Amino acid sequence: MRIEEDVKLDFKDVLIRPKRSTLASRKEVDIKREYKFKWSGKTYTGVPIIAANMDGVGTMDMARAFAAQGDGLTAALHKHYDLDTLVKYYENEGNANVWYSMGVSSADEEKLNAFLKTPAATKLDKVCIDVANGYSEVFADFLKKMRDKLPEATIMAGNVVTGEMVEELILCGADIVKVGIGPGSVCTTRRMTGVGYPQLSAIIECADAAHGLSGLVCSDGGCTVPGDLSKAFGAGADFVMLGGMLAGHDTAEASVIEENGKKYITFYGMSSSTAMNKHSGGVAEYRASEGKTVKIPYKGELAHTLQDIRGGIRSACTYVGAKSLKELSKRTTFVRVTQQINNVFGEAS
């Protein structure tokens, strides 16, 4: 047994220190990024925020709403769309705003093989391969196999939280490594297993490892307010993936529940018993559920939330004098705080 004594930080443990700035208005800030991916050689320009591949978040309606925004937001479609629905989507609506998501099971592989036999195959340009624990050899081997099979696709793979594993996944063919174990809003991994890593430190360490190999990282999980995205980008994240913050909107492809005049939507982790009952016929005996099910207030139109998120990031850039999102991490100094008191009063409801 060993104890690592270095302090590891979460979003809540820091604030971004303001800096002298020549920017007159947040309108001047460009929050798009441009990347050329290491393995696929493809380029991307856009606001680097990705909807998580979760039921109610990584939906085709989310991708459509993103397409309507026209600024390069993308959605990782959840893994449970059937083949026909996926093929139709790619054929009719294209690939610009979507990631094809898969796990490493034989069923996932068979579905991908079937997809590759359809005319939509030529549109498969972005693939998200993820498992709860990206540390297994099986996962790295699977990733190598997919890199050989899909040489021109941009592959995002995860999840891991440490530099050495980021390097390994990049060398196995990942263009982007997804970083985060345990920070998710409906995740119970830390409680159930005691395993995890504070997200801000995970981003800082993983981004450093990835950038050294011309790879990229996507911070996945733990953002609860727009300021958390600014902290993630400030820490070096190239992309940020959001679940809970994008859940509960008109894009959820879920029914809205009305109770006592208030509207709600059910949101659940993809390893929760709700998800396993829905998609895998129950929780297998050898595993415990590592996700929870919550009822969240219905938030209506997605556009309002997106405006808040973009506005928050722009404003953070203005506070530190970053003319573009690209400059944010260079201009970020985090200050450690013991407690963040944002306001004395709660929000008016």
Asked if 161 and 183 count as a contact pair (C-beta separation under 8 A), the reply is no
Residue ranges with strand state E in 39-102: 43-46, 49-51, 74-76, 98-102
Helices (H), 155-240: 163-171, 189-193, 199-212, 226-235
- Least gap, CB of 331 to ligand 5GP (angstroms): 25
56 near ligand 5GP, rule: CB under 6 A:
no
Single residue of 101, 189, 201, 329 touching ligand 5GP by CB under 6 A: 189
Question: Which listed residue (187, 206, 218, 317) is catalytic?
Answer: 187
Site for ligand 5GP in 191-210 (CB under 6 A): none
| Site track for ligand 5GP across 104-143, x = CB under 6 A | ----------------------------x-----------
317 near ligand 5GP, rule: CB under 6 A:
no
128 is catalytic: no
The residue among 120 and 202 lying less far from ligand 5GP, judged by its C-beta, is: 202
| Site track for ligand 5GP across 229-268, x = CB under 6 A | ------------xxxxx-----------------------
Which contacts (CB < 8 Å, 24+ apart) does range 178-181 have? 178/128, 178/130, 178/134, 178/217, 178/218, 178/220, 178/241, 179/203, 179/206, 179/217, 179/218, 179/219, 179/220, 179/237, 180/219, 180/220, 180/221, 180/222, 180/241, 181/132, 181/133
| Interface ranges with ligand 5GP (CB under 6 A) | 52, 54, 132, 159, 180, 184-187, 189, 220-223, 241-245, 269-272, 290-291
Q: Would you please indicate which residues are annotated as catalytic (active-site) residues?
A: 187
